[in-house]
Amino acid sequence: MEMIDRYIYAVTQKLPLSQREDIAEELRSLIEDMLEERVQGEDVTDNDVVEVLMELGDPRQLAQKYKGTKNYLIGPELFDSYMLVLKIVLISTAIAISITFIIKTIINPVTILDHFVELIVAFVTALPAAFGWTTFGFAISDHFGEINAKDLEIGTEWKPSDLAPIPDEKRQIKYYEPIVSITFYTLLIIMFVFSNEYLGVWIFQDGFSDVVPFLNNETYTTSLLFIILIMGIGITKECLKLIYGKWTSKLVTYIAIVNVISTIAVLFMINGNAFWNPDFLLELTQAGVITENSDGYRTVSMIWNQSTLWILVLLVVGLIWELIDGLIKANKK
């Protein structure tokens, strides 16, 4: 009878969440009715099940019939995740822009009008952009998902023995995990784009006076491109997790490729003096935070000089951990 469960799962997992349970129950009672008629009071054999499922046909086609014809950009199986991601992206963008405005106003209240204009401009440009990119990403996944489904149909007769087992709970990816990560990446991008000049050590002398930036202002435009690229790769990775919904060896392979690419990009960006502010220690001393040749100076200078290495080590360890974790979950029986 496990084959029936697999069949029902194969049909319903392609359908919107809200209808799944009802359709599953109705299908089950249909299959039982069909079996009953076939065996006429005898015991049901596996062969009977196979024949009944053959009569019902390819679960993908049945799911397609439940969905109706495709006249949408983002299909019902992705729509729930799309709406969720869209809300989160829009809300986090709006919050980040507002926080930027508040910080700028606190730091420099005289030019509040300028900050306000920036706020309006940011809202008008960033929100539609966030909306557009999210929609674009999901439309692309939907499109390629459809093509894959069609490729598989050509020339292959569907058999009940093709039915994949229902994935174990432990292999499933909780949908909120990728969503939390996507939010985090979005916030980081916005932080880097809109408030790079405040990314550093804040100096307070009679209130706020200056920032000693971590990053090199002269090369910031190039660095920003890299940062957006790396975050974009990260978002793509999380979207893959969201679409697959469970750990499979295929997903782990994709993530491995994506992780290698992002590590290379990070290495390329961070490795070199152009990324970090070359005068960081000098500026800190000038601002009076540390005095040269003191213990404090040596500690700060040690941390500053080794930070590149440690950031890389942490990053690589994190990415490898993600892969091992995925690999373990994908192979769980």
Partner 1 sequence: MKDANEYLDKLLQELRRGTITISVLSQLSEPQYGYWLVTMLEEKGIHVEPGTLYPLLRRLEKQGLLESKWDTEEARPRKYYLLSETGKEVYKLLIVEWQQIVESMSNVIDIKGGKMDGDD
Residue 61 found at the interface with partner 1 (CB under 8 A): yes
DSSP, res 207 = S
* Measured distance CA(93)–CA(122) in Å, rounded: 10
Of the pair 34, 50, the CB lying nearest partner 1 is at: 34
Which of 61, 299 has the CB closer to partner 1? 61
Task: Work out which of 3, 34, 44, 73 binds partner 1, going by CB under 8 A.
Answer: 34
Q: Is 70 a residue that touches partner 1 (CB under 8 A)?
A: no
CA 47 to chain centroid, in Å, comes to 43
53 is a site residue for partner 1 (CB under 8 A)? no
The contacts of residue 21 (CB under 8 Å, 6+ apart) are none
Considering only 2, 17, 54, 65, the residue that binds partner 1 (CB under 8 A) is: 65
d(CA 45, CA 35): 9
Cα separation values, 11 from 28, 113, 164, 240, Å: 11, 57, 11, 21
Which spans in 17-111 are helix H? 17-39, 46-56, 59-67, 76-107
Task: Give dist(CA 318, CA 324) in Å, integer.
Answer: 10
Is 49 a binding residue for partner 1 by CB under 8 A? The answer is: no
Judged by CB under 8 A, the residue of 4, 10, 62, 212 near partner 1 is 62
Q: Between 208 and 237, how does the x/- string for binding to partner 1 read (CB under 8 A)?
A: ------------------------------
Neighbouring residues of 257: CB distance < 8 A, sequence distance ≥ 6: none
Given 40, 42, 47, 68, the residue binding partner 1 (CB under 8 A) = 68
Nearer to partner 1, 22 or 146 (CB): 22
Q: Which residues bind partner 1 (CB under 8 A)?
A: 19, 22-23, 25-27, 29-30, 32-34, 37, 55-57, 61-62, 65-66, 68
